[in-house]
Chain A
């Protein structure tokens, strides 16, 4: 299974679609590059989003660990955003970028559950869906 692409893993599971493969490959490259700096992957998953669509993930994070939440959109995506909330729904952080590869670094003050919202802000002209892959990594 050496470096089996995430896209292939997701295809094996029947989840990936054609436009998610580019996003998966991009994300996977970032995940494995992170291992050189001490990061490890908790979870990686992908979805197809229309403009304005979102996915929300509930995540447990440990106080003391550092987390990196990162997303890759495929070429159909112009701007994808990540918004992090605490367990009460209060917004803690959001990426301010206008691109399709947002990233948030976060060090929780307390061990708790957090909500990560991944939002497809805008797609390339004429596109109706974009592949978006999200990973939670830690160190």
Chain B
């Protein structure tokens, strides 16, 4: 009997894996029981944030403006409000070329679901011209050619094009290096934002939803960012009525968008001031 118990005990010892595995398991348990290394919590103060902030993601996209409009309860579709026009890249002033390029880019993105094939191809042609004049390099031109080929060939859905236009406007264009200088991206963004702000203020007017204006148009930091580049040292000083008008408009928009409350009169002023610049293009 005793011999049987001893045997059972011996079998259990062996079955449990002997000394080494037991030791190993214990070591594992000890490791698990060790207090985890405390995660270092890093804090950022306001002065660090202000001094080091990169502005690459500052400006909302026109498509994002459309989403904000709908989320604020407005029914308007900005795509239906985009004017059917051809914005030629005929200016000598590079600032103006950048703004024109930005407006065309905004129209391309906003009308992705509704534009005809011919309209999309025409806008892509203008974009290609604009980027070439700004010295954006061959790669963006090739990318646009790829898009043109897809559209002409009828491959891919409008949903696919939406992703690709988003990628073009939100990822590729801001990251490109332009021969003309670092001011190009902000001025392309200014063109897109100006078009978006004009359409959004038009939608607010049309639906008389002035109580939503603050939510949709109150962006003084964005306007200030554009002004910084329009008024930069060494900017193209060739006389240019569009750039002069743009500067005046941005100065006015900074004042309006800095108000505590944006009212009906302010929306009307934003609409007419942005429209005045856009009709000069």
Contacts and interface: CB of A to CB of B under 8 A. Distances in A.
A75 interface: no
Nearest to A139: B67
Contacts of B39: 79, 98, 121
Given A43-B170, A64-B71, A85-B49, A58 B58 contact: yes
B205 interface: no
Contacts of B233: none
B44 A89 contact: yes
A56 B48 contact: yes
Nearest to B138: A12
Contact of B46 (A1, A62, A88, A139): A88
Contact of B172 (A12, A42, A59, A110): A12
A62 B60 contact: yes
Given A2-B156, A9-B167, A111-B216, A60 B222 contact: yes
A83 interface: yes
Q: Determine the interface band of chain A, counting residues with CB < 8 A from chain B.
A: 35 or more
Interface in A59-95: 59-65, 79, 81, 83, 85, 87-89, 91
Contacts, number: 158
Interface string A9-47: 110111100000000000000001001000011111100
A61 B57 CA distance: 10
Nearest to A66: B71
B53 A1 contact: no
B60 A42 contact: yes
B77 interface: no
Contacts of B163: 3, 32, 35
Contacts of B170: 41-44
A65 B60 CA distance: 12
Contacts of B167: 1, 4, 6, 9, 41
Given A1-B167, A65-B64, A89-B46, A43 B56 contact: yes
B43 A54 contact: no
Contacts of B147: 1
B61 interface: yes
Nearest to A97: B39
A98 B143 CA distance: 38
B67 A57 contact: no
A39 to B, nearest CB: 10
Interface of A: 1-4, 6, 9-10, 12-15, 32, 35, 40-45, 54-65, 79, 81, 83, 85, 87-89, 91, 98, 110-113, 115-117, 119, 121, 136, 138-139
Q: Which 9 A-B pairs have the closest CB atoms?
A: A89-B46, A64-B71, A62-B68, A43-B57, A58-B53, A13-B175, A12-B139, A115-B49, A1-B146
